[in-house]
Amino acid sequence: MIGMHLFALRRPVQGSARPSLPRTMRLLGAVAAGFLIGVVPTAPARAQDDQSTAILQRENDLLRERVAQLESQLAHSRKRITDLEKQVAELQARVAAPPAAPSTDGGSGAAPPDEQPMPVYAEIPADPMAGPDSLFLALKADYETRFKNMSFDSDADRKRYIAEVGAWARQAPRALRGSFDWLIEVVQPIVEEREEATIEFRVIDPSSGNPCSDRFYTMKIPGRMARPISVMRDRRLWVVKGTLAAKPGVNASRQDVGAFDTPRFIGPFAEFGFEVTPRSVQPYEAEQKP
């Protein structure tokens, strides 16, 4: 009896063109399934595309910053070479020239007007927060203490060594972090980028007025802080206050300094880096305008 009832339900009603209810439900289910198959996977795919685009954008930004740093270092290296070549030529000319006649006026004799004095550098402070040069020395000393008894002669030792360098680099921002108050010399015109700007600088010793080294560094500062530097280009010295943190990098293919010490070489597989968060930028009031 039940089989007869089911058979009756499957038979279409004579004189009617509409399909039975079960058949209609099956058709609707098939259409819905096809719709879901075509639509559901698009959301994860779109999210993956957005994530890939963001990663590529970050990589491009890092590459542009790296290229700018290398170009800046190259320009200063060329200038340094030119200055040294000039000094060598002047010394060679003085050696080849006949001795000057003794002075008859009792004076000691003045230096030739075109002779350039050798650059004088201030002693690098021991405080790691006193400037990038001080932070570099602190990182280098800590690295040498940490890895003085380790070697990387075999492949296994090399992998272990690089892994230890990575762990050391990750803890460095917490170990070497603090506030700073620097007197800096801006040595390149300001470069504005969107809502921030990049300046090239070196730290000056306030007591002597001499730079701490011949190294130049770059710093990103918010646009509102950079405007005074952009407007007052005749001002050479500025006071910057903020937070400094070590940020060394790991380079698994760099075992020694190499031809160009950029970034600065801390030790095998470790390169110098730092992060500056400025809080204020003010002109150095003791500076005399030209």
pLDDT tens profile 161-172 = 999 999 999 999
Position 14 in a domain: no
Residue with tokens 């762990």: 167
Mutual orientation of helices 132-147 and 155-175 as an angle, nearest 10°? Answer: 140
Global pTM? Answer: 0.63
Position 114 in a domain: no
Looking at the structure of the chain, the number of domains it has is: 2
Quick one: what percent of the chain has pLDDT higher than 90?
Answer: 49
Q: What is the pLDDT of residue 118?
A: 83
Residue where one domain finishes, among candidates 43, 73, 92: 92
pLDDT tens profile 80-122 = 676 666 666 666 666 666 555 544 444 445 555 556 678 899 9
- Which residue type sits at 286? A
Position 99 in a domain: no
Would the pLDDT of 288 be above 50?
Answer: no
Q: What is the pLDDT of residue 117?
A: 76
Position 66 in a domain: yes
* CA-closest candidate to residue 249, choices 73, 61, 62: 62
Lowest-pLDDT choice from 141-155, 192-206, 207-221, 231-245: 192-206
CA distance 38 to 100: 94
Whether 41 and 154 map to the same domain: the answer is: no
CA distance 77 to 216: 10
Average pLDDT over the chain reads 80
Position 234 in a domain: yes
Pair of tokens at residue 60: 């491009």
Pair of tokens at residue 140: 């280098």
- The count of other CB atoms within 10 Å of the CB of residue 135 is 25
CA distance 200 to 221: 11
Whether 151 and 78 map to the same domain: the answer is: no
Whether 65 and 144 map to the same domain: the answer is: no
Q: 199 is in which domain, residue-wise?
A: 128-283
pLDDT tens profile 222-245 = 988 998 998 898 899 999 999 999
Position 221 in a domain: yes
CA distance 60 to 198: 17
**Which phi and psi (to 5°) does residue 270 adopt?**
-125, 130
